[in-house]
Amino acid sequence: MFSHIRTIWLTFLHLFKRHVTIQYPEEKIRLRPRWRGRIVLTKDPDGGERCVGCYLCAVACPVDCIALQATEDENGRRYPEFFRINFSRCIFCGYCEDACPTYAIQLIPDFEMGEYNRQNLVFEKEDLLINSQGKYPGYNFYKVAGMDAGVKQKGEGENEDAPVDVHSLMP
Amino acid sequence: MFIHIDNKTYTVKAGKNLLEACLTLDLDLPYFCWHPAMGSVGACRQCAVKVYKDENDMKGRLVMSCMETVTEGLRLSIEDKTAKAFREQVIEWLMTNHPHDCPVCDEGGACHLQDMTVMTGHDYRRYNYKKRTYTNQYLGPLINHEMNRCIQCYRCVRYYRDYAGGDDLNVFAAHNHVYFGREKDGVLQSPFSGNLSEVCPTGVFTDKTLKEHYTRKWDLTMAPSVCNHCSVGCNTIAAERYGQLRCMLNRYNGDVNGYFLCDRGRFGYEFVNSENRIKQALIRSRTNEAATESEIMEHVQSLISMSKVVGIGSPRASLESNFALMQLVGKENFYQGISEDEAHLNRLVVEMLRSGCVHSVSLKEIEQADAVLIIGEDIWNTAPMMALAVRQAVVKTAASQASQEIKIPVWLDSAIKELAQEEKGFLATLTIATSPIDDIATHSWHAAPDDLARLGFAIASYLQPGKIVNTDFSEALLDKAKKIGDALKKAKNPVVITGTSCYNDNVIKAAFDVAVALNTGERKTSFSCVMTECNSMGLAMMGSPSFSVANENIKTNGHATAVILENDVYKHIPSANADEFFNSCDHVIVLDALHNATTEKAQVLLPAATFADGDGTLVNNEGRAQRFFQVIPNTTSQVQESWRWLKKLQTLKLHTLNGHALHPDDLLREMETALPQFEGITNVSPKHDFTIHGEKIPREPHRYSGRTAILANKNVSEPKPFNDGDSPLSFTMEGYKGTPPSGVVPFFWSPGWNSVQSVNKYQEETNGALRGGNPGLQLFKNKSDARDLFFNDVPESFVVAKDRWLLLPKYDALGSGELSSYTAALKTLSPQPFASMSTGSLQALNAKDGDMLQIVDAGIMYGSLPVKADENVCDGVVLVTAGLRESMGMSWGTRVQIKK
């Protein structure tokens, strides 16, 4: 008997607590920037594709839902020929973002991806690529990488000496 | 011999160095400059271990493990704190200038530097200063250069210059500026340059053809394969991704190719992805030529039941396919698809090796020879890996003799080199034209085939006087024979090499007679004959008549349906004869992988599998049967192995459908019964139902990625993986994870060893056989009771005819492959067709260098070719670049007319 009354009392007290439930979709939930939702491919500060097709996201993916093919432009800059994520398999673990050495692949706070047809959850590069640097502005991989891929000449990158003069014997 | 490593006792083999001993014991010890094929130089300081005087010594001293020999009771520590700190420090220094490149570096994921960095535990860079940079060079269409990544281990120049004998790659500049490259931009000249991509421990030299469709090692579906581009049969790993063949890697086989491949083998794979591939079965002269399999079966059934069926086999098709064709048409209607001249030579070689009186030599044994005699074959261009093996024999003989005298271990590379200096082992090259291998030869002599044969017989006669009759040799010839004979007599393991490319049986007979004459009680002689195609030996062993016989039969009997198996008849036969054959056939059914002149004649064209999309067995020139495995899963197209097509046609003919799936090992079993010369061939590889603990061997590494996305664009529901019922390998990443039997190793990987250096973990000892024995099955047995077989067929010496020139082929290491010529990269490196003649011959023709000449043989006009004067070609001989499309079907070895 006492237990019943106590339950009713506690339920009554909850009327005065803060609401947890929100009226989605009229009201949107506030998500933190590092919330792991939909995956995007970002661009570097110069507007070039950040993804260099290194396959690290694909190999880090525990459900193997990323497939891509790297190719090169005439300057030797690598980019993905195609980049496919099967979101019907994705578990939004964020390992791909952790693995990405160029900040290209990022998980953004967006989860509104519901589809009636599972096939529509297969995203290609044109669905993934956004015209933004995402969470990590200012980073351009080719400025710190050693190779010359049309972004900078040899020796012009950050922390690089001018190319060695092979004919010189000076120390 | 016992040694103690970290207070544990192990048994090791005497004569090894500590690094080799540790790696053989499966202990992880990092290294850079040491390479199993090139020995130790102690330059990189990476393999430091601590060695203790005795069990009471607590302090010990640091040594480089690659420079110390194992001694009885030696105590060493890999795990010692100082040693570990030392190794980590060395890596940290190396990494100060190594660029931040791994994501865009082709070596990543299969990089020895990555592996060693992780192994030593160096994980965070403390160096905050500027990195050194270099400009790169253009090194041709095969190898990419990115010099920033260099860690100065010197392996590339040690390989390229010392091991492979190249001279256009070198080290430049000094101190911390050393630069590995060419004097100026340009194509690397050595036909072994592709190995730089595997020798380089990091990404300085990488495979440029892989760059076109780059895939990481962990994403490749890989299967053991056998090279298709010459008769040596090097073991390769074929690697696939997204239904395309992506690259060829070396597959270690201690008896055959060891750690290296030639560029034709490594880069000649792209014909598999070529636009020219036949993917669709066709029935010609219908409105809709494309046919389904059932339509094909129906159509072919009517063709083969109507008339006599004649089968034309192929020296580049697998044994299974050739045998399936033989079964379909009957033994009496099966012919080799090569000219009578070539078939005659091949029969001769089979007879020689079957006699068992000399040993049929493997590449490994050639490397260990102490004297080599080459008669009539330009092995540098027809069997490049054999030339590399001969080079090792020549360069290392002096070294190994020296090392025995003053007890220096053979792996101590620089000391051995100092000791041996320029001294070389004996090599005599008696060929029709110059070859790069002449550079290391003691004697080289260029003459017409008959004269080469005469010298061969003269040597045999000098070695065993009285065995050769008809010895009217000139003084000069006898003098040469004496010099070479004396050198060969001194050798313990001499090797005699010849080949079919002279199209002269006397040359082969002479070489064989020398081998037999040398073969006395204490001296073991070995013999090798280079053939033209990857399965020339297998086809020759089947002992069928040649194409010319087929042509005669059809002409006389008429009314026949010809089934042509993976063979461009126009390559082997003069086009007039081939046309004649096709005109007299009622119907022509062709199975092939690439469109060529023969497939144009086909009324029914069936898409055949290449080495990459099918299974089969090839026999190399040594008589070693080797199995290759499918690597491209075939789910949609009609492409299937020729033997499968032929077996299906056979069931139609016999009206029996037993419903059993057919496997290559079933075919080999039937072959063993039908052709006893192939006895034991079923043991060439594990059977199709072979499993280990109930598991198949995965073709994909355990880190294979993208399985749920690769085909998701077509259908989001993943299909069942392709089921391979023909082999113990599976097309998935699941399966047995340990070391598989040596013949079915799909890739080399070991925990912590992602690069190709993991091969150490698959060997019984460094440089030794793979665990469980090297793969492949030798079909020729040495017979101890074999009677010496002398051919004794001394030809007349070559006479220059007035307006008849002896037409001989000139091969090119990169350009002469029929299949590899569909690879863009190799095509740019293959020579433009030309003819070469001596200045004397040119004068007789009243022509000069650069003129266009037309070759006419029995009324057949071949295309005109520019002529080059070559001092080393003897008078009366014309050499024409062979294997190119312009020189197809030439009647090599005959006398032709030449018109200006």
Contacts of A147 in chain B (CB under 8 A): 99, 101, 104, 146, 148
Tell me the two tokens of residue B551: 């042509």
The DSSP symbol for B162 reads: I
B7 backbone dihedrals φ, ψ, rounded to 5°: 65, 15
Residues 536-595 on B with a CB inside 8 Å of A are: none
Rounded to the nearest 5 degrees, what angle is found at the Cα of B752, between the Cα atoms of B746 and B754? Answer: 40
The DSSP symbol for B39 reads: B
Stretch B237-252: mean pLDDT, rounded? 93
In this prediction, residue B655 carries a pLDDT of: 63
Tell me the two tokens of residue B447: 């003459």
Asked if residue B695 is part of any domain, the answer here is no
- Our measurement of the distance from residue B862's CA atom to the centroid of its chain's CA atoms, rounded to an integer in Å, reads 31
Percent of chain B with pLDDT over 70: 99
Residues 865-884 on B with a CB inside 8 Å of A are: none
Asked if residue B185 is part of any domain, the answer here is no
Same domain? B319 vs B397: no
Residue A59 has its nearest CB partner, among B101, B173, B705, at B705
In this prediction, residue B660 carries a pLDDT of: 60
Asked if residue A4 is part of any domain, the answer here is no
CB contact under 8 A, A63 and B108: no
A53 min Cα distance to partner chain B (Å): 8
Same domain? B304 vs B322: yes
Contacts of A54 in chain B (CB under 8 A): 102-104, 108
In the predicted model, is pLDDT for residue B652 greater than 80? Answer: no
Judged by DSSP in three states, A92 sits in coil
CB contact under 8 A, B101 and A59: no
Q: How far apart are CA B290 and CA B644, in angstroms?
A: 20
CB contact under 8 A, A166 and B172: yes
Asked if residue A164 is part of any domain, the answer here is no
Q: Return mean pLDDT, chain B.
A: 89
The number of domains in chain A is 1
Q: Which residues pair with B809 in a beta bridge?
A: B880
Contacts of B704 in chain A (CB under 8 A): 64
User: Residue A39's domain spans which residues?
Assistant: 30-137
B607 min Cα distance to partner chain A (Å): 28
Contacts of A72 in chain B (CB under 8 A): 211
Same domain? B506 vs B573: no
Residue B706 has its nearest CB partner, among A56, A66, A141, at A66
Q: How far apart are CA B779 and CA B760, in angstroms?
A: 28
Residue A64 has its nearest CB partner, among B133, B214, B707, at B707
Asked if residue B229 is part of any domain, the answer here is no
Asked if residue A34 is part of any domain, the answer here is yes
CB contact under 8 A, B108 and A147: no
Q: At B43, which CATH number?
A: 3.10.20.740
User: Residue B61's domain spans which residues?
Assistant: 2-96
In the predicted model, is pLDDT for residue A96 greater than 90? Answer: yes
Same domain? B292 vs B354: no
Distances (CA, A) of B202 to B116, B177, B427, B730, B850: 11, 18, 36, 31, 45
Confirm if B564 and B588 have CB atoms less than 8 A apart: yes
Contacts of B712 in chain A (CB under 8 A): 65, 67, 84, 86, 122
B129-185 per-position pLDDT tens digit? 899 999 999 999 999 999 999 999 999 999 999 999 999 999 998 888 899 999 989
Judged by DSSP in three states, B75 sits in strand
B260 min Cα distance to partner chain A (Å): 27
In this prediction, residue A43 carries a pLDDT of: 94
Q: How far apart are CA B301 and CA B304, in angstroms?
A: 5
Stretch B734-748: mean pLDDT, rounded? 91
Contacts of A163 in chain B (CB under 8 A): 133-135
Tell me the two tokens of residue B668: 């080999």
In this prediction, residue B852 carries a pLDDT of: 86
Q: How far apart are CA B875 and CA B871, in angstroms?
A: 9
Q: Which of B531, B563, B578 is at the close of a domain?
A: B531
Confirm if B702 and B737 have CB atoms less than 8 A apart: yes
In this prediction, residue A39 carries a pLDDT of: 95
Confirm if B34 and B66 have CB atoms less than 8 A apart: yes
In the predicted model, is pLDDT for residue B900 greater than 60? Answer: yes
Q: Is B101 on the interface with A (CB under 8 A)?
A: yes
Confirm if B442 and B390 have CB atoms less than 8 A apart: no
Same domain? B517 vs B543: no
CB contact under 8 A, B214 and A71: yes
The dihedral sign for the CA sequence B243, B247, B249, B255 = positive
Contacts of A154 in chain B (CB under 8 A): 133-136, 148
Burial of B633 (0-12, 13-18, 19+ CB in 10 A): middle
CB contact under 8 A, B715 and A155: no
CB contact under 8 A, B100 and A52: no
Same domain? B312 vs B429: no
How many C-beta atoms surround the C-beta of residue B410 within 10 A? 15
Residues 429-468 on B with a CB inside 8 Å of A are: none
CB contact under 8 A, B132 and A65: no
Distances (CA, A) of B504 to B346, B509, B823: 11, 9, 31
Asked if residue A8 is part of any domain, the answer here is no
State the first-to-last Cα distance of chain A, in angstroms, to the nearest integer: 93
The number of domains in chain B is 4
Same domain? B295 vs B366: no
E strand residue ranges, B432-509: 443-446, 494-499
Residues 8-47 on A with a CB inside 8 Å of B are: none
Rg (CA), chain A: 24
Asked if residue A12 is part of any domain, the answer here is no
In this prediction, residue B657 carries a pLDDT of: 54
Rounded to the nearest 5 degrees, what angle is found at the Cα of B362, between the Cα atoms of B359 and B363? Answer: 140
CB contact under 8 A, A166 and B133: no
Asked if residue B248 is part of any domain, the answer here is no
Q: Which of B62-76, B90-104, B462-476, B665-679 has the lowest mean pLDDT?
A: B462-476
Q: Is B59 on the interface with A (CB under 8 A)?
A: no
Confirm if B137 and B145 have CB atoms less than 8 A apart: yes
Query: Position of tokens 């989001």?
Result: B716
Peptide linkage before A25 cis (omega within 30 of 0): yes
Cβ-Cβ pairs closer than 8 A, A with B, add up to: 140
In this prediction, residue B194 carries a pLDDT of: 93
CB contact under 8 A, A61 and B705: yes
Residue A55 has its nearest CB partner, among B132, B219, B716, at B219
Residue B661 banded pLDDT, cuts 50, 70, 90: low
Q: Given the DSSP bridges, would you call strands B805-810 and B895-899 parallel, antiparallel or unpaired?
A: antiparallel
Asked if residue B839 is part of any domain, the answer here is yes
Q: At B822, which CATH number?
A: 2.40.40.20
Stretch B279-303: mean pLDDT, rounded? 85
Contacts of A116 in chain B (CB under 8 A): none
Same domain? B527 vs B562: no
Q: At B467, which CATH number?
A: 3.40.228.10
B292-302 per-position pLDDT tens digit? 888 888 888 88
CB contact under 8 A, A161 and B101: no
In this prediction, residue B253 carries a pLDDT of: 93
Q: Is B786 on the interface with A (CB under 8 A)?
A: no
How many C-beta atoms surround the C-beta of residue B61 within 10 A? 10
In the predicted model, is pLDDT for residue B653 greater than 80? Answer: no
Residue whose C-alpha is closest to residue B433's, from B823, B882, B742, B896: B882
Q: Which of B678, B703, B728 is at the close of a domain?
A: B678
Same domain? B386 vs B490: yes
B801-852 per-position pLDDT tens digit? 888 888 899 998 888 878 877 888 888 888 888 888 888 888 888 888 888 8
Residue B716 has its nearest CB partner, among A122, A145, A146, at A122
CB contact under 8 A, B709 and A64: yes
> Residue B331: which residues within 8 A CB-CB, separation 6 or more?
B544, B674
In the predicted model, is pLDDT for residue B656 greater than 70? Answer: no
Same domain? B573 vs B479: no
Q: How far apart are CA A27 and CA A20, in angstroms?
A: 12
Contacts of A168 in chain B (CB under 8 A): 173, 177
Residue B313 banded pLDDT, cuts 50, 70, 90: very high
Residue B658 banded pLDDT, cuts 50, 70, 90: low
Q: How many helices (H) and strands (E) does chain A have?
A: 5, 6
Q: How far apart are CA B622 and CA B460, in angstroms?
A: 22
**Residue of A57, A63, A64, A81 to mutate, testing the B interface (most B Cβ within 10 Å of its Cβ):** A64
pTM for the model: 0.93
- Per-range mean pLDDT, top range of B188-192, B356-360, B392-396, B892-896: B188-192
Q: At A105, which CATH number?
A: 3.30.70.3270
Asked if residue A148 is part of any domain, the answer here is no
Rounded to the nearest 5 degrees, what angle is found at the Cα of B100, between the Cα atoms of B96 and B105? Answer: 120
Q: Given the DSSP bridges, would you call strands B560-565 and B526-530 parallel, antiparallel or unpaired?
A: unpaired
B197 min Cα distance to partner chain A (Å): 18
Residue whose C-alpha is closest to residue B180's, from B208, B157, B164: B157
HEC per residue, B738-790 = CCCCHHHCCCCCECCECCHHHHHHHECCCCCCECCCCCCEECCCCCCCCCCCC
B855-883 per-position pLDDT tens digit? 888 777 777 888 888 888 888 888 988 87
B825-834 per-position pLDDT tens digit? 888 888 888 8
Residue B61 banded pLDDT, cuts 50, 70, 90: very high
Asked if residue A65 is part of any domain, the answer here is yes
Contacts of B146 in chain A (CB under 8 A): 146-147
User: What is the chain B residue with the closest CA to A86?
Assistant: B709
Contacts of A162 in chain B (CB under 8 A): 133
B510 backbone dihedrals φ, ψ, rounded to 5°: -60, -45
In this prediction, residue B648 carries a pLDDT of: 86
CB contact under 8 A, B712 and A78: no
Residues 713-752 on B with a CB inside 8 Å of A are: 713, 715-717
Asked if residue B109 is part of any domain, the answer here is no
In the predicted model, is pLDDT for residue B82 greater than 80? Answer: yes
> Residue B660: which residues within 8 A CB-CB, separation 6 or more?
none
Q: What is the ipTM of this complex?
A: 0.89
Q: Is B149 on the interface with A (CB under 8 A)?
A: yes
Q: Which of B625, B645, B678 is at the close of a domain?
A: B678
Confirm if B147 and B134 have CB atoms less than 8 A apart: yes
Scanning B192-308, the segments in alpha helix (DSSP H) are 196-199, 208-211, 263-267, 293-306
In this prediction, residue B612 carries a pLDDT of: 92
CB contact under 8 A, B104 and A78: yes
Contacts of A119 in chain B (CB under 8 A): 715-716
Q: Is A119 on the interface with B (CB under 8 A)?
A: yes
How many C-beta atoms surround the C-beta of residue B302 within 10 A? 10
What is the phi-psi region of residue B847: left when phi exceeds 0, alpha when psi lies from -120 to 50, beta otherwise? beta
Q: How far apart are CA B438 and CA B745, in angstroms?
A: 37
Q: Is A80 on the interface with B (CB under 8 A)?
A: no
Residue B556 banded pLDDT, cuts 50, 70, 90: confident
What is the phi-psi region of residue B620: left when phi exceeds 0, alpha when psi lies from -120 to 50, beta otherwise? beta
Asked if residue B212 is part of any domain, the answer here is no
Upper half-sphere CA count for residue B415 (Cβ side, 13 Å): 15
B490 backbone dihedrals φ, ψ, rounded to 5°: -70, -20
Asked if residue A117 is part of any domain, the answer here is yes
Q: Is B489 on the interface with A (CB under 8 A)?
A: no
Q: How far apart are CA B205 and CA A14, in angstroms?
A: 70
Asked if residue B112 is part of any domain, the answer here is no
Residue A146 has its nearest CB partner, among B100, B129, B706, at B100
Same domain? B12 vs B88: yes
B13 backbone dihedrals φ, ψ, rounded to 5°: -90, 135
Confirm if B686 and B617 have CB atoms less than 8 A apart: no
Judged by DSSP in three states, B293 sits in helix
Kindly write down the DSSP assignment for every residue of B533-586, as one continuous string.
STTHHHHHHTT---HHHHHHHHHHH--EEEEEES--HHHHS-HHHHHHHHHH-S
Same domain? B607 vs B495: no
Q: At B556, which CATH number?
A: 3.40.50.740
CB contact under 8 A, A146 and B172: no
Percent of chain A with pLDDT over 90: 68
Q: Which residues pair with B753 in a beta bridge?
A: B750
